[in-house]
Chain A
Amino acid sequence: MNDAFSPYIVSLITFAPLAGALLLTILPRRDRDIRVIAFLFSLATFCLSLHLPVHFRRGLQGFQFEIDKPWISSPNIHYHMAIDGISMWLVLLTTFLTPLCVLISWKSIHDRVKEFFILLLILETALIGVFTSLDLFLFYFFWEATLIPMALLIGVFGHDRKVYAAVKFFMYTMIASVFMLAAIIWLYTQTGSFDFVIIRDQIAKGAIPNFPAAAQWLFLGFFLAFAVKVPLFPFHTWLPDAHVEAPTAGSVLLAGVLLKMGTYGMLRFNLGLFPEQARHNAPWIMTLALIGIIYGALVAMVQPNMKKLIAYSSVSHLGFVVLGIFSFTQSGLNGAMFVMLAHGISTGGLFMLAGILHERRHTYEISEFGGLASPMPVYAASYLFIVLASVGLPLLNGFVGEFLVLNGAFQAKPIYGILGATGVIWSACYLLWMFQRVFYGKVTHPVNNGLADMLGFEKAAVWPCAVAALVMGVAPILWLAAIDPAVHDVLMPFAQFISKAVIQ
């Protein structure tokens, strides 16, 4: 029974939110009903997606829950969806965060509610599609499809400079991704297929005669699209603007999932298709990642705006992911995957918490707060928990990933590990300092005395993140058991390049 069902589960998960969005379009504009329906659909999607880790066969290499049906014959496009240990957890991250986004937007969105939730659900479908599609065309389709709902979420529901931020976000991503499209088309003209597995095998066998001459350009075409999305220094300037202007739910999905599209793309396509070029280009990419880690942290330190601070902390954390990926070690890649998930949860949580404060005071300026621990004790405790997770306190999720990444970076070249490790210190500095300024001491602004503590639905949105952060920190093996074989698969072609022993 399970086998007959398994090819369709991935499609079901992908398109369940879209079905919800379509249902919402025909419903009358009763805001309460719309919120409830959107929540139910996103929750149902999450429950469906739990099927994946339950029935996922760990220790197996290759893709599972695969479906491969021809869609368009010329060009030869297949509806090819499947997951492995890497994409499975990113799908789960998406389905986990979306219901929380619905909850956190329950009260804060009161204008054009219907449009908001429609866009949110469409965005979820597109995000899941990015992680599950194995046909390059399908991948590109979902990749572009994330762009429009996200740009609209920022541009329509954002704050003061929303239009500027939305257009900047759109243009950065669009310009970068057309080069990926050119590379995809080139691969198609040479192989006659968009299928990731077929193209990977053909490249590995050397079956494409023109490939060596073009390989570097193809690598860069893909890499540019992903580097902008991550965002890797120096392509990061869209991110702070987008985050500051986006509504809370938009920020959560942007930091939590959208950025991971870039690192996932590097892992899957840059390493999967072009292992040799990846190895050649690794030194400068790792250098950029290190610059991102340190620069992001330093800039975060001096931000007067809480949301901008969290945004720059993302630049820093995503630098760890890139560092881990291009270390080409089992430990580094495992760590990179784990940081992606951990960052999604803890930064998602931080953005929700920042949003809760914005709800009450309509500002993100850190100097507007101070001593909040006394009027809002529950809020302060939740905030501290998530901050500690993000800082990388042992037994919480941030620690595991960063440790593995640094371990991998150290194996690749000790100096990378040493410099990267400073990032951990920096993150403690800027996050804890921010926490101190916002929560400790006396209440500096009288208006803050009357702030209400967390409401029920806010707790329901934030606490799951805290629980997930704790479980991931205590029992990372639950995640790594599936990640490890998949990463091993990715690293296969590198075995011949790297003489150093890979630690188990």
Chain B
Amino acid sequence: MMLPALLLQAIPQTQDYVRILPELVLSIFGIVVMVLDPVVDEEKSQKTLGAIAFIGAVVALISTWYMAQSPGLAFSNTIRIDSFSIFFNFLVIAVAAVVILSSFEYMAVQRIRAGEYYALILFGTVGMSLMSSAVELVLIFIGLEISSISTYILAGFRRNEASSSESSLKYFLLGSFATAFFLYGVALMFGATGSTNIDIISQRIASSPTQVLIFTAMALMFVGLGFKVAAAPFHIWTPDVYEGAPAPVVGFMSTAPKAAAFAVLLRVVFAINAPGRFWFLWVAAALSMTLGNVGALVQSNVKRLLAYSSIAHAGYCLVAFAMTSPESSATGISAAMFYTASYAAMNVGAFAVVSHFGNAGEQYVTLEDYEGLGRSSPLLAASLTFFLLSLIGIPITGGFFAKFYVFSAALRANLIWLTLIGVANSAIGAYYYLRIIVAMYMRESRREVPVTPIPFGLGLALTLSMLATLYLGVLPNRVLQIAQHSAQDLLPQSSPVNSNVAQSPSSAAAAP
């Protein structure tokens, strides 16, 4: 009686495939790009392959919407489609689409063969989508690897530049080291609870909360994920890697994989709900904000500056993780989700501008090169200013509400000191973003920096990210409601009891 039911469940149904539809679409388009690459003639390949990849991302976005109509578990409870995973799926795919748009011109200017580039972005996005939907630690690990390996290669795409190869190698070595930590944490977690399914783990932990093994497992997993989101003290790689990697790729890897890693971190922290996590999150948040901002103060290379700023922003976002009680957890989760979304919008935009200004060989990336751009290239300078103001956290931009929600969640949880560190840091942060604005508007150019007209793809990418930033800054309601709804989905006590997961023996024992 039991066996056929189990077997039946093991055979994937149509529903199961619908619930990984975006991943399927992205993979298919990625393969199409790879296959066409040698066929399309080299002159045209830039445009054609990029267009195919962009269409792929758009179709994946539509399929995310289609997938959202049938929430639930898939593939033997390894994947769960709820508003949380839909949110992050949508986010990473949207980022990928915008990055593809902003890469059109970059590829041509840098004379890079396009084929694998677009394919790798699509494949990387598959991994990130998986990370957002998976509720099984092993599957999460696989997603993490897919996304990481793609980004390792992407980081080294400026093959003729030593700095790019250095960036790629550094990212690869340190990244694999960090993922190994994550895997070790998963193994220990399995040892402690006998499962790799997040729902089961959370039930087992609820019944026997005080185990050293669980704490160690959590810490190790946090090391791996902390590396991916560039949180201090695992942030040292960020400036070097961001400096060497191609600018659009930096725009991609500072947002999409980060968002996916934050999704996993949210699941690991809040869905598993392991005790004893408070202090290392607190310390990581405070350290990241402070080290990121202080480091950025002295940078003269815009890419390095934005790299440090991304460390700081990871810190702000981590503030929302330092919640313990269920009520504050809900506000924390929604604040963190909102933060990732608005950070993605503004940072992708900022890097799109940086990649355009960089020109051939990315030779114009220092603050000195930005002098006088307010006059020679007013539209781009104005849009970069807008993104920088959002990164500072000035009202009517998404960056403001992002910080606002995070800090109000922290204050509601009575984290006064962490909030004060946060607001003091955002004041310091204003200084270095301002340096870029000052250079663009208040200084006259000392070097001849060529100004090229804004191509269509970049213009569209900028418009989209600007609209998103503005939308999050003027009408944040809708996105916040989705995030709040997702927070309810994520928290263990309200997880749907629609599968055999809830009937596991330990939870039955824990019930009375």
Alpha-carbon distance A185/B407, docked complex (angstroms): 8
Would you list which residues of chain B between 142 and 189 have a CB under 8 Å from chain A? Answer: none
Q: Which residue of A lies closest to B428 (CB)?
A: A175
Interface locus among A94-102, A166-174, A229-237, A365-373:
A166-174
| Per-position binary interface string of chain B over residues 421-432, scored 1 when its CB falls under 8 Å from any chain A CB and 0 otherwise | 001101110110
Closest CB in chain A relative to B409 CB, distance in Å:
9
**A156 proximity list for chain B (CB < 8 A):** 374, 441-442
- A155 with B441: CB separation less than 8 A: yes
Partner pick for B423 among A75, A141, A166, A182, CB 8 A cutoff: A182
Interface locus among B273-281, B476-484, B501-509:
B476-484
- B394 with A167: CB separation less than 8 A: no
- A174 with B427: CB separation less than 8 A: yes
**A148 proximity list for chain B (CB < 8 A):** 389, 394
Given contacts A152-B441, A163-B443, A185-B411, is CB(A75)–CB(B404) below 8 Å? yes
Given contacts A72-B475, A141-B395, A182-B420, is CB(A189)–CB(B411) below 8 Å? yes
**A166 proximity list for chain B (CB < 8 A):** 438, 442
Q: Which residue of A lies closest to B439 (CB)?
A: A163
Would you list which residues of chain B between 431 and 457 have a CB under 8 Å from chain A? Answer: 431, 434-435, 438, 441-443
Alpha-carbon distance A213/B171, docked complex (angstroms): 48
Alpha-carbon distance A155/B412, docked complex (angstroms): 39
Would you list which residues of chain A between 66 and 99 have a CB under 8 Å from chain B? Answer: 72-75
| Per-position binary interface string of chain A over residues 134-175, scored 1 when its CB falls under 8 Å from any chain B CB and 0 otherwise | 000000110011011000100110000011001100110011
In this assembly, does B396 line the interface, its C-beta being within 8 Å of a C-beta of chain A?
yes
| Per-position binary interface string of chain B over residues 467-501, scored 1 when its CB falls under 8 Å from any chain A CB and 0 otherwise | 00000000111001100100000000000000000
In this assembly, does B408 line the interface, its C-beta being within 8 Å of a C-beta of chain A?
yes
- A74 with B412: CB separation less than 8 A: no
Closest CB in chain B relative to A218 CB, distance in Å:
12
**B476 proximity list for chain A (CB < 8 A):** 72
In this assembly, does A178 line the interface, its C-beta being within 8 Å of a C-beta of chain B?
yes
Q: Which residue of A lies closest to B441 (CB)?
A: A156
- B423 with A181: CB separation less than 8 A: yes
Given contacts A72-B475, A152-B441, A163-B438, is CB(A171)–CB(B431) below 8 Å? yes
- A174 with B430: CB separation less than 8 A: yes
- A74 with B481: CB separation less than 8 A: yes
- A171 with B430: CB separation less than 8 A: yes
In this assembly, does B419 line the interface, its C-beta being within 8 Å of a C-beta of chain A?
yes
Q: Which residue of A lies closest to B374 (CB)?
A: A156
Residue of B411, B435, B442, B476 contacting most chain A CB atoms (<10 Å)? B442
- A155 with B394: CB separation less than 8 A: no
Closest CB in chain A relative to B389 CB, distance in Å:
7
Partner pick for A167 among B424, B428, B438, B475, CB 8 A cutoff: B438
**B389 proximity list for chain A (CB < 8 A):** 148
**B426 proximity list for chain A (CB < 8 A):** 178
Closest CB in chain B relative to A142 CB, distance in Å:
8
In this assembly, does A186 line the interface, its C-beta being within 8 Å of a C-beta of chain B?
yes
- A155 with B438: CB separation less than 8 A: yes
**Number of residue pairs A-B, CB distance < 8 angstroms:** 76
Q: Which residue of A lies closest to B430 (CB)?
A: A174
**B441 proximity list for chain A (CB < 8 A):** 152, 155-156
In this assembly, does A179 line the interface, its C-beta being within 8 Å of a C-beta of chain B?
yes
Alpha-carbon distance A272/B424, docked complex (angstroms): 26
Alpha-carbon distance A155/B430, docked complex (angstroms): 16
| Per-position binary interface string of chain A over residues 272-303, scored 1 when its CB falls under 8 Å from any chain B CB and 0 otherwise | 00000000000000000000000000000000
**B394 proximity list for chain A (CB < 8 A):** 144-145, 147-148
Q: Which residue of A lies closest to B419 (CB)?
A: A182
Alpha-carbon distance A171/B434, docked complex (angstroms): 9
- B423 with A163: CB separation less than 8 A: no
- A189 with B408: CB separation less than 8 A: yes
**A181 proximity list for chain B (CB < 8 A):** 404, 407, 423
Closest CB in chain A relative to B421 CB, distance in Å:
11
In this assembly, does A188 line the interface, its C-beta being within 8 Å of a C-beta of chain B?
yes
Residue of B389, B394, B475 contacting most chain A CB atoms (<10 Å)? B394
Given contacts A155-B441, A163-B443, A178-B423, is CB(A141)–CB(B396) below 8 Å? yes
**B477 proximity list for chain A (CB < 8 A):** 72-74
- B484 with A74: CB separation less than 8 A: yes
- A155 with B442: CB separation less than 8 A: yes
Would you list which residues of chain B between 343 and 358 have a CB under 8 Å from chain A? Answer: none
**B475 proximity list for chain A (CB < 8 A):** 72
- A144 with B427: CB separation less than 8 A: no
Alpha-carbon distance A140/B481, docked complex (angstroms): 23
Closest CB in chain A relative to B428 CB, distance in Å:
8
Q: Which residue of B lies closest to A163 (CB)?
A: B442
- B419 with A170: CB separation less than 8 A: no
| Per-position binary interface string of chain A over residues 310-347, scored 1 when its CB falls under 8 Å from any chain B CB and 0 otherwise | 00000000000000000000000000000000000000
Given contacts A144-B395, A171-B431, A189-B412, is CB(A182)–CB(B407) below 8 Å? yes
**A170 proximity list for chain B (CB < 8 A):** 430, 434
Would you list which residues of chain A between 112 and 146 have a CB under 8 Å from chain B? Answer: 112, 140-141, 144-145
**B438 proximity list for chain A (CB < 8 A):** 155, 163, 166-167
Q: Which residue of B lies closest to A179 (CB)?
A: B423
**A73 proximity list for chain B (CB < 8 A):** 477
Alpha-carbon distance A140/B389, docked complex (angstroms): 15
**A167 proximity list for chain B (CB < 8 A):** 431, 434-435, 438
Q: Which residue of B lies closest to A175 (CB)?
A: B427
**B412 proximity list for chain A (CB < 8 A):** 189
Alpha-carbon distance A98/B412, docked complex (angstroms): 42
**B430 proximity list for chain A (CB < 8 A):** 170-171, 174-175
**A186 proximity list for chain B (CB < 8 A):** 411
Q: Which residue of A lies closest to B484 (CB)?
A: A74
Alpha-carbon distance A410/B484, docked complex (angstroms): 56
Alpha-carbon distance A148/B442, docked complex (angstroms): 13
**B404 proximity list for chain A (CB < 8 A):** 75, 181, 185
- List 18 A-B pairs, Cβ < 8 Å: A72-B477, A75-B404, A75-B405, A75-B408, A152-B441, A155-B441, A163-B442, A167-B431, A167-B434, A170-B430, A171-B430, A171-B431, A175-B424, A178-B427, A182-B407, A185-B411, A185-B419, A189-B411
The 6 A-B pairs at the shortest CB distance, nearest first, are namely: A141-B395, A175-B427, A155-B442, A178-B423, A189-B412, A178-B427
Residues of A within 8 A of B (CB): 72-75, 112, 140-141, 144-145, 147-148, 152, 155-156, 162-163, 166-167, 170-171, 174-175, 178-179, 181-182, 185-186, 188-189
What 12 new A-B contacts, CB under 8 Å, besides A155-B438, A181-B407? Answer: A74-B481, A74-B484, A148-B394, A156-B442, A163-B438, A163-B442, A163-B443, A171-B434, A178-B424, A181-B404, A182-B419, A186-B411
